[in-house]
Amino acid sequence: EPEVTQTPSHQVTQMGQEVILRCVPISNHLYFYWYRQILGQKVEFLVSFYNNEISEKSEIFDDQFSVERPDGSNFTLKIRSTKLEDSAMYFCASRRGLSSTDTQYFGPGTRLTVL
Amino acid sequence: GENVEQHPSTLSVQEGDSAVIKCTYSDSASNYFPWYKQELGKGPQLIIDIRSNVGEKKDQRIAVTLNKTAKHFSLHITETQPEDSAVYFCAAMTSYQKVTFGTGTKLQVIP
């Protein structure tokens, strides 16, 4: 069964450093998403992306964050200058379309630790 | 925006008993309600969903109910097994683009 993959599984970085989290969505999916989950809390929406554009973003997704689909397969989340509070699990998700039968599928996540 | 409340936050049941998790949502425009199971160190996995034109859906030991008028939806797991132990999230979709998650229920099935 096709699945969303994410790399790395764990990323440790120093405060102020830039990080790039990578995702490979399911191949025939057109809509892509990033979510985050701070330890012990609920999963929070960050951003959605379609046709090389951000279609919706939350208040969490400020100027420090950016997303990109640099080629036909990868979908990346960049945090320019990490803060301690960016430590969380980051989940990528993808969806084939917007019909009522299309569901978001989540990747296994990247654990980001900011020291 | 949408707000999804979920109860209880933790739930312990004996193996073989039933488990019920309840959620409420705020935005009457929400029309799709997925339930996710999250095991330790993994991403949320869709286990069942229900759409707003349906009141109940069942898949083997799992069932979901939806009351649109009251903005309530529930997950029912019957004949629980130890492998059902996980964190369960309800969610609601209003816009087509984002899932709003509930706060999660940690289910422990005691053998």
Interval A14-54: pLDDT, tens = 999 999 999 999 999 999 999 999 988 889 999 999 999 99
CA angle B62, A89, A93 (to 5 degrees): 60
The pLDDT assigned to A38 comes to: 93
CB contact under 8 A, B89 and A31: no
CB-CB under 8 Å, A103 with B43: no
Q: Residue B84 phi/psi, 5° resolution? A: -80, -10
- In chain B, whose CA is at the least distance from the CA of A42? B103
Residues of chain A neighbouring B98 (CB-CB closer than 8 A): 33, 45, 48, 56, 58
Chain B residues whose beta carbon lies within 8 Å of the beta carbon of residue A48: 97-98
What is the reported pLDDT for B52? 82
Residue B43: its chain A contacts at CB < 8 A? 4, 91, 106-109
pLDDT at B95: 61
Answer yes or no: do A42 and B101 touch at CB < 8 A: yes
Residues in chain B whose Cβ is within 8 Å of chain A: 31-32, 34, 36, 41-46, 49, 51, 89, 95-104
Structure-derived torsion over alpha carbons of residues A86, A92, A95, A100, reported in degrees to the nearest 10: -50
> What is the C-alpha separation between A40 and B16, in angstroms, rounded?
27
Q: State pLDDT tens for residues A54-101.
A: 999 999 999 999 999 988 789 999 999 999 999 999 999 999 987 767
Query: Does residue B94 carry a pLDDT above 80?
Result: no
Q: What pLDDT, on a 0 to 100 scale, did the predictor assign at position B66?
A: 95
Go through chain A and tell me how many residues it has.
115
Which pLDDT score is estimated for B96? 62
Q: Does A84 touch chain B (CB under 8 A)?
A: no
Kindly report the nearest CA distance between residue A98 and chain B, in angstroms.
6
CA distance A22 to chain B (A): 15
pLDDT band at B105 (very low <50, low <70, confident <90, very high): very high
User: How many beta carbons lie within 10 A of that of residue A52, not counting itself?
Assistant: 8
Kindly report, residue by residue over B3-62, the tens digit of the pLDDT.
999 999 999 999 999 999 999 999 888 888 999 999 987 889 999 999 888 899 999 999
pLDDT of A14 reads: 97
